[in-house]
Amino acid sequence: MRPFTYERARTAAEAAVAARRPHAKFIAGGTNLLDLMKLQIETPTHLIDVNGLGLDRIEPTADGGLRIGALVRNTELAADERVRRDYAVLSRALLAGASAQLRNKATTAGNLLQRTRCPYFYDTAQPCNKRQPGAGCAAIGGVTRQLAVIGASEACIATHPSDMAVALRALDAVVETVKADGATRSIAIAEFHRLPGDTPQVETTLEASEFITGVILPPPLGGRHFYRKVRDRASYAFALVAVAAVVQRDGTGRVALGGVAHRPWRVEAAEATLPRGAKPTMAGILDGARPSHDNAFKLTLAERALASILAEARAEP
């Protein structure tokens, strides 16, 4: 860990202004940032603590949705009555992630911005374009079981590890931000995370020093909500494949995947085939996939996981 200076921001706007300082970073729960600082993967020289900003409420919006403050903890969000009733996919995704202790600290914004779990990213002796642009990618041709099967590039094949973000993608959430000049903007979740392309170090469409104030959930979708996270052990592991689905009585619905790409993966056009079952739908969602020998199973797995969700959706009232 490099030595750093520290300040507490008092307002969101102030936080964004403070972050104009070079090598500054916001710290929320710290559950991801601190680990990365200890390993010198992140080396900020200035930390802006944003925990005291009062962005820790979940409030109804005028059109019947919810506004989730950026600092709402994962535990509280998962337990919120309205979320459990109207956005169960989100609640389930959160509870499938990390551990109770981590969820108590982890925040909504921090969760969206958590960095990849690619093992080579974690070893500073290995070349990694995400850590050190231009260094090369040690993962390509290496141990890739956990890594991306679609949307990857010649520069990076990492996945985004968040469960919460997959549910937010299925719900068409919107990220709200403020910039140092005081301007605010709303970014659709579909536009928020980027594919790696030639610049895997740039993971979102946030601008430097832009601060997340909250996440908006559109009005409830109804339907039945599923989050099926498939992993090697029963808890406390990142997804091999995760399927978030909202299925309506008539068999239509939405599907988003985790564990397959550099961002939560959703192909709206492919959802039209959902009433015809998992096979055509997943074929559409994963069209163009380029898996490695080690992770080709994710394609079959995603399809089978969706099939089991659809079977459950049909079976119960």
Ligand X SMILES: Cc1cc2nc3c(=O)[nH]c(=O)nc-3n(C[C@H](O)[C@H](O)[C@H](O)COP(=O)(O)OP(=O)(O)OC[C@H]3O[C@@H](n4cnc5c(N)ncnc54)[C@H](O)[C@@H]3O)c2cc1C
Phi, psi torsion values for 176, nearest 5 degrees = -105, 140
Bridge partner list, 149: none
Is residue 28 a contact point for ligand X (CB under 6 A)?
A: yes
Q: Are strands 24-27 and 5-8 parallel, antiparallel or unpaired?
A: unpaired
**Sheet containing strand 224-230, strands side by side:** 224-230, 241-247, 253-258
Q: Which residue ranges make up the site for another protein (CB under 8 A)?
A: 1-3, 38-40, 117, 119-120, 122-126, 138, 141-143, 145, 228, 230-238, 240, 277-279, 297, 300-301, 303-305, 307-308, 310-312
Q: Which of another protein, ligand SF4, ligand X, none does residue 29 bind (CB under 5 to 8 Å by kind)?
A: ligand X
128 binds, among another protein, ligand X, ligand SF4, none (CB under 5 to 8 A by kind): ligand SF4
**Binding ligand X by CB under 6 A: which of 17, 29, 41, 289?**
29
Q: What's the token pair of residue 301? A: 């797995």
Which window, 27-35, 75-83, 247-255, 285-293, contacts ligand X (CB under 6 A)? 27-35
Q: Does 109 sit near ligand X (CB under 6 A)?
A: yes
The minimum distance between CB 152 and another protein, in angstroms, equals 18
Residues in contact with ligand SF4 by CB under 6 A are 116, 118, 120-121, 128-130, 137-139, 156-158, 200
To another protein, the closest distance from the beta carbon of 221 in angstroms equals 24
Minimum distance of ligand X from residue 198's CB (angstroms): 22
* Single residue of 7, 79, 82, 102 touching ligand X by CB under 6 A: 102
Query: Considering the rule CB under 6 A, would residue 159 count as an interface residue with ligand X?
Result: no
H helix or E strand, kind and range, residue 25 = strand 24-27
Instruction: Give me the residues paired with residue 283 across strands.
Output: none
* Closer residue to ligand X (CB): 98 or 189: 98
Q: Which does 291 bind (CB under 5 to 8 A by kind): ligand X, another protein, ligand SF4, none?
A: none
The token pair that represents 106 in the structure block: 């982890």
Q: DSSP for 206-247, please give it.
A: PPTT-EEEEEEEPSP--SEEEEEEE-SSSSSS--SEEEEEEE
Token reading at 226? 């599923």
Q: How far is the CB of 289 from ligand SF4 (least distance, A)?
A: 16
- The number of CA neighbours under 13 Å toward the Cβ of 65 is 15
Asked if 114 touches ligand X (CB under 6 A), the answer is yes
Estimate to the nearest angstrom the gap between the alpha carbon of 228 and the chain centroid: 15
Closest approach of Cβ 108 to another protein, in Å? 22
Residue span binding ligand X (CB under 6 A) among the ranges 108-116, 132-140, 179-187, 259-267:
108-116
Nearer to ligand X, 113 or 313 (CB): 113
**Residue 95: its H or E element:** helix 88-95
**Cβ pair 114, 187 in contact under 8 A:** no
Which pair of structure tokens corresponds to residue 17?
Answer: 């202004």
Distances (CA, A) of 78 to 8, 70, 104, 140: 27, 14, 10, 36
The pair of structure tokens assigned to 222 is 């109804």
Which residue ranges make up the site for ligand X (CB under 6 A)? Answer: 25-33, 35, 50, 70, 97-98, 102, 105-107, 109-111, 113-114, 161-164, 211-212, 238
